[in-house]
Structure 1
Amino acid sequence: MLKKGSKLNSILTGTCPKCQNESMYEDKNPLNLSKVLKMNETCSHCGLRYQIEPSFFYGSMYVSYALNVAVGVATFIVSYVFLGTSIKNSFFAILGSLIILFPWVLRWSRNIYINMFVSYDPLNSKK
């Protein structure tokens, strides 16, 4: 479904944005909350250093805010507009969806952020 070489492939799978052959994370399971943000230092396949500069991933907080707003708005539209629940129940639905999606949003925000700065290189993919 996701073609290797696309940014979407790297974002959704959490693979190295440069070669897309290896996971950036020590533990591929985002539900292991103690290791949800533990990343490898470099890609063992292409050698890309993930921490491009000190505190590089602080910028991913802004991406995380945008993703959380999108989740909140989508949940509100589904619960309040389509399901016809009260504002109070919609609030609890938003809160629940943000808590449930928390580990994925954390990783997706990092994946999106690093993919803004690093592009796929097919030559590194074949090494």
Structure 2
Amino acid sequence: MLKKGSKLNSILTGSCPKCQSESMYEDTNPLNLTKVLKMNDHCSHCGFKYLIEPSFFYGAMYVSYALNVAVGVAAFIVSFVFFGSTIEQSFLSIIITLIVLFPFVLRLSRNLYINMFVSYDPKAGKH
């Protein structure tokens, strides 16, 4: 499922979309909130430059919005339908869920966005 070469591998691990040999981020732990979006300039394995063009990752905001809507709807359904919470409790569960998952959604949206434009190249980084 997460074999090297699949988009899913790069998206879920945050690895270089070109060679999938190393993380795009300076700190692989998304819970380190001071470095959650700090990225390396390029892949040290294949040399791929992550910031494809100036302001490239602004497009990831749209992906982040969609992910947050999906997470919010899922939190509401779980809380309201499955646990029988009140509307107020359900909206509180949405807020708490979005706050807790904030760093993961940020990274996942960037990973998804860059993988929309860059494909895996098995020859990348080989000399």
Where does structure 1 lack aligned partners over 5 or more consecutive residues?
Answer: none
- Once residues 70 and 125 of structure 1 are traced to their aligned partners in structure 2, the CA distance between those partners, rounded to angstroms, is 36
- Once residues 90 and 45 of structure 1 are traced to their aligned partners in structure 2, the CA distance between those partners, rounded to angstroms, is 46
Residue type of the partner of 1:98?
A: L
Deviations 1:3-41 (A, max 9, x none): 111111101100000000010000000000000000000
Residue type of the partner of 1:52?
A: I
- Once residues 124 and 42 of structure 2 are traced to their aligned partners in structure 1, the CA distance between those partners, rounded to angstroms, is 14
Where does structure 2 lack aligned partners over 5 or more consecutive residues?
Answer: none
Contact 1:10-1:20 at 8 Å conserved across structures: yes
After TM superposition, the score normalised by the length of structure 1 is: 0.97
What is the root-mean-square deviation of aligned Cα atoms in Å? Answer: 1.0
After TM superposition, the score normalised by the length of structure 2 is: 0.97
Deviations 1:62-107 (A, max 9, x none): 0000000000010011000111100000001000000000000000
Match of 2:36 in 1: 36
Residue type of the partner of 1:88?
A: E
**CA pair 85-39 structure 1, distance change in 2 beyond 3 A:** same
- Once residues 45 and 77 of structure 1 are traced to their aligned partners in structure 2, the CA distance between those partners, rounded to angstroms, is 43
Contact 1:19-1:46 at 8 Å conserved across structures: yes
Match of 1:74 in 2: 74
Identity, % of aligned pairs? 76
Q: Does 1:4 align with 2:24?
A: no
* Alignment: residue pair count: 127
**CA pair 124-71 structure 1, distance change in 2 beyond 3 A:** same
Match of 1:114 in 2: 114
- Once residues 2 and 40 of structure 2 are traced to their aligned partners in structure 1, the CA distance between those partners, rounded to angstroms, is 23
SS at match of 2:124: helix
Match of 1:94 in 2: 94
- Once residues 100 and 125 of structure 2 are traced to their aligned partners in structure 1, the CA distance between those partners, rounded to angstroms, is 34
